[in-house]
Amino acid sequence: MRKGFTRKPQGDEPATQSKNYITPSGLQRLKDEHRFLLSRERPAVTQVVAWAASNGDRSENADYQYGKRRLRQIDGRIRFLTKQIESAEVVDPETPRAGQAATRAFFGATVRYANAAGTERVVSIVGTDEVDLNRNHISWASPLGRALMKSTAGDRIVLQAPGGTEYLAVLEVCYERISVEPFREPPGAESSAKGLLADANPPDKG
């Protein structure tokens, strides 16, 4: 029985993974969000802040305080996305593989396994920015992702998870397209900012 990787970082070893593996569609989603925040959301919120600042005492101006707080959140997210994009190591699950690379579970693999009760589950191993439990996309750095790593059909592995120890049987390992949920603009994100400005500057009548 092969045991999944459960070693904890020691000393000055970083607690997080050193590689930022990601699928092509996952990287595209990060780029789309980065572009939206930088070119649309941030300018819109900046405009609202400028309008709120012109309305008097900033210390008691809720619109101004909220806008500034929102700008800090946006800037923090932009910095994070920039770092993730620049450090990304793209791995395409659809790239042809040979030998053990085609039959063992590595990043980008889709794995079918069963627990001790015989219940089967299929998961795809993706990057930390692509986790989507509704689609059964798990991080390669998660306990399950690490336990499945390098396994092949017929292997029995031990999963050391926060909820306890589980014994799993690997039934199938394959590589196929992993459909990552694309980035979608938050409902009303920019239009709400425009709405504030429209309310503050109603059109002239007459």
The confidence score (pLDDT) of residue 57 equals: 63
Within the chain, what is the greatest distance between any pair of CA atoms? 83
Domain of 151, CATH number, reads 3.10.50.30
Q: Residue 48: exposed, middle, or buried by beta-carbon count in 10 A (0-12, 13-18, 19+)?
A: buried
The CB density around residue 29, as the number of other CB atoms within 10 Å, is 19
Same domain, 170 and 103: yes
Same domain, 170 and 97: yes
Same domain, 96 and 61: no
Same domain, 98 and 167: yes
**182 lies in a domain?**
no
**194 lies in a domain?**
no
Same domain, 51 and 96: no
**72 lies in a domain?**
yes
**179 lies in a domain?**
no
Distances (CA, A) of 63 to 40, 49, 52, 76, 185: 19, 7, 6, 20, 22
Q: What is the pTM of this model?
A: 0.79
Same domain, 118 and 49: no
Same domain, 54 and 95: no
Q: In total, how many domains does the chain have? A: 2
Dihedral over Cα of 145, 147, 148, 150: its sign: positive
Q: Which domain holds residue 147?
A: 91-174
Q: What is the mean pLDDT of each run of 10 residues along the chain (206 residues)?
A: 39 52 97 96 90 74 84 96 97 95 97 97 97 97 96 96 92 96 84 49 48
The DSSP secondary structure of 12-76, one letter per residue, reads TS-SS-S-EEE-HHHHHHHHHHHHHIIIIIHHHHHHHHHHHHTTS-GGG-HHHHHHHHHHHHHHH
- 4 φ/ψ angles, rounded to the nearest 5 degrees: -65, 160
Same domain, 68 and 133: no
The confidence score (pLDDT) of residue 194 equals: 56
| CB contact burial 33-46 (16+ within 10 A = b; e otherwise) | bbebbeeebbebbe
**193 lies in a domain?**
no
Same domain, 99 and 76: no
**124 lies in a domain?**
yes
Same domain, 170 and 101: yes
Q: Which tens digit of pLDDT belongs to each residue from 59-71?
A: 667 778 888 999 9
The confidence score (pLDDT) of residue 149 equals: 97
Domain of 83, CATH number, reads 1.10.287.180
Q: How far apart are CA 204 and CA 185, in angstroms?
A: 32
Dihedral over Cα of 137, 35, 49, 192: its sign: negative
**199 lies in a domain?**
no
Same domain, 101 and 162: yes
Same domain, 39 and 69: yes
Find the angle CA(136)-CA(130)-CA(23) to the nearest 5 degrees. 105
Q: Which tens digit of pLDDT belongs to each residue from 18-68?
A: 689 999 999 999 999 999 999 999 999 999 888 888 876 666 677 788 889
**14 lies in a domain?**
no
β-sheet with 137-139: strand ranges across: 2-3, 156-161, 164-174, 110-114, 120-126, 137-139
